[in-house]
Chain A
Amino acid sequence: MAVVVVVTSGKGGVGKTTTSAAFGAGLALRGHKTVVIDFDVGLRNLDLVMGCERRVVYDLLNVIHGEGSLNQALIKDKRIDDLFILPASQTRDKSALTLEGVEKIIDQLRQRFEYIVCDSPAGIERGAMIAMHFADEALVVTNPEVSSVRDSDRIIGMLASKTRRAEREEDPVKEHLVITRYEPERVDSGNMLSAADVQEILAIPFLGVVPESESVLIASNSGIPVTLMNGSDAGQAYMDIVDRFLGEDRPHRFLEAPKRGLLSRLFGW
């Protein structure tokens, strides 16, 4: 049975697309047939982050409006066998995205994939609501920062009330908290909310932190999901998150600042 996972946050710029790419690639690395759908009509970026921007011919809206088939629109990743991308339209009006059209596509994708990852646009407008509508599970991406936490809380409220599962009074969407851009040093100095603080406020199950890392920018510069970059701390953090999502037991990493010696503490080396 296929699982639809929405990657959402409310606030923009917290790492939804980075997370969608890394998480989708991670699921495929673990041998699960995965498709990542970009719902950000007019501002698509998943193709760029995943390095397939020059292979986009047909997109989500072409398929909805019957201008191309699903097979034509699906882009197979060149690095991992089980990974596919369904890009958003860059030119169409957002109103062209319909609930009925998306439902039809997701139903077809459910026949072919194990995981359908929906990369939500920022905000709480139409695109974001449609991206979360058919979700079975949700990754709520949050930065340890006041505006992001507050927006995540609103999104959590909507996952509980505005999704198809809520409308049909089925089991609620299973939520997971992913804290990105985490800097343990700043938490230690008392100027960044800790992962525990954010968990306490949002009160949903915690999947893990992704440390602030230069490899995230290097990965997106190169069009590689960060989970495919060797030696990247953020990539490792995302793989832990994927494994925990799949039910594996992985100890939490990157929550503590690396220990520094006395000399380096005194002189700032």
Chain B
Amino acid sequence: MRLLDYFLRAPRRNSAAVAKERLQIIVAHERSRASAPHYLPLLQKDLLEVVRRYVPIADDQVTVTVERTGDCEVLELNIALPDKPTRVEPRPPLAAVPAAVAETVPPERAPGLEAAPRAADASVRPGRRRRSHRR
């Protein structure tokens, strides 16, 4: 009866490949979280406060992650700025390029990473532009 099965069965979906792909994603994610420095949430909170002095943003608009590539740890800050200029009076040099603030910040070593044995880069990427939902 296998002969009949062979011709009648639906195209086989390879569930092992799906499992492997899902595992690779979740395992990579959990490893990065487990190895992330403990000060990351505090750093995120402080950054949020600093950015809020100039631009009103929501809690989830600053993300801080550490990625490890080989011997190098890369601290990635992702700050999403609203499109419209804000009503808050920004300081003059920042007012000129509100959306590109992130880009003008020179890469700096994050405090605390100084002590880390591995080389650490802080790269700041310009935020995804989100339309703000303010009235």
Mutual binders A and B: yes
Using a CB–CB cutoff of 8 Å, the interface residues on chain A facing chain B are: 145-146, 149-150, 153-154, 157, 187, 189-194, 197, 200-201, 265-268
Contacts of A190 in B (CB 8 A): 12-17
Given A146-B22, A149-B23, the answer on whether A268 and B12 have CB atoms closer than 8 Å is no
How far does the Cβ of A186 sit from chain B's closest Cβ, in whole Å? 8
CB–CB B31/A191 < 8 A: no
Contacts of A201 in B (CB 8 A): 20, 23-24, 27
Closest B residue to A201 by beta carbon equals B23
How far does the Cβ of A81 sit from chain B's closest Cβ, in whole Å? 43
A200 to B31 alpha-carbon distance, docked (Å): 15
How far does the Cβ of A185 sit from chain B's closest Cβ, in whole Å? 12
Question: Which B residues between 25 and 43 are near A, CB-CB below 8 angstroms?
Answer: 26-27, 30-31, 34
Closest B residue to A265 by beta carbon equals B2
Given A150-B23, A201-B23, the answer on whether A268 and B16 have CB atoms closer than 8 Å is no
Given A192-B16, A197-B20, A201-B20, the answer on whether A157 and B2 have CB atoms closer than 8 Å is no
How far does the Cβ of A27 sit from chain B's closest Cβ, in whole Å? 31
Contacts of B23 in A (CB 8 A): 146, 149-150, 193, 201
Question: Which B residues between 5 and 64 are near A, CB-CB below 8 angstroms?
Answer: 12-17, 19-20, 22-24, 26-27, 30-31, 34
A157 to B27 alpha-carbon distance, docked (Å): 11
Using a CB–CB cutoff of 8 Å, the interface residues on chain B facing chain A are: 1-3, 12-17, 19-20, 22-24, 26-27, 30-31, 34
A246 to B30 alpha-carbon distance, docked (Å): 33
How far does the Cβ of A188 sit from chain B's closest Cβ, in whole Å? 10
CB–CB A267/B34 < 8 A: no
How far does the Cβ of A136 sit from chain B's closest Cβ, in whole Å? 23
CB–CB B26/A268 < 8 A: no
CB–CB B16/A191 < 8 A: yes
A201 to B30 alpha-carbon distance, docked (Å): 13
A187 to B1 alpha-carbon distance, docked (Å): 22
CB–CB A153/B30 < 8 A: yes
Given A149-B23, A153-B30, the answer on whether A267 and B12 have CB atoms closer than 8 Å is no
CB–CB A194/B2 < 8 A: no
Subset of 26 A-B contacts with CB under 8 Å: A145-B19, A146-B22, A150-B23, A150-B26, A150-B27, A150-B30, A153-B27, A153-B30, A153-B31, A157-B31, A187-B16, A190-B13, A190-B14, A190-B15, A190-B17, A191-B16, A193-B20, A193-B23, A194-B16, A197-B20, A201-B20, A201-B24, A201-B27, A265-B2, A266-B3, A267-B2
